[in-house]
Amino acid sequence: MTLEYSDLVLLGLGAVLVLATVLVAASAVRGTRLRRRIATIEQQFETLKSDVAATTGIGVRVGEKLRRLDQVTAQMGERLGQLELRGEGRPYDQAIALVRRGADADRLMANYGLSRGEADLVALVHGNRLTA
């Protein structure tokens, strides 16, 4: 059995056709895998986008809270300053009242935290004066 030229050509074309079919099938399988991988990556990307949006929202809210806390802290500082100014003379008023009742400078220092000079001055100026 001798193969003729046309038979050889047909056999060659058949082999090429089988090879082409195998390559197309392999490409289709690879294309399907790539489409699945792309779909997975796109899904992960959407998840990351929503996570970033949520994190950004949290950051904005935290920033707003910090700004409000700064305002409250500043207001509290101002209020404390006002209270300190209002109450600054209070120990002296109390010390004067105590020295008028006969307390000495040592007691003023112990009760109101006055320095020796302050206590002596309050006792001298407001203490009981003996008249001659």
Residue appearing with tokens 């950004």:
56
| Per-residue pLDDT at 132 | 42
**pLDDT, tens digit (0-9, with 9 covering 90-100), for 65-78:** 999 989 988 888 78
Residue appearing with tokens 């193969």:
3
| Per-residue pLDDT at 86 | 59
Q: How many CB atoms lie within 10 A of CB 92?
A: 16
With 0.75 as the threshold, say if the pTM is over it: no
Give the burial class of 108: count Cβ atoms within 10 A of its Cβ; 0-12 exposed, 13-18 middle, 19 or more buried.
buried
Enumerate residues 6+ apart whose C-beta is below 8 A from 95: 108, 111, 112, 114, 119, 122
| Per-residue pLDDT band at 6 (split at 50, 70, 90) | confident
- Inter-axis angle of helices 105-112 and 116-126, to 10 degrees? 120
| Per-residue pLDDT band at 84 (split at 50, 70, 90) | low
**pLDDT, tens digit (0-9, with 9 covering 90-100), for 38-47:** 999 999 999 9
Structure tokens at 111: 């009760």
b/e map 51-77, b = 16+ CB within 10 Å = eeeeeeeeeeeeeeeeeeeeeeeeeee
Max Cα distance, the chain (Å)? 161
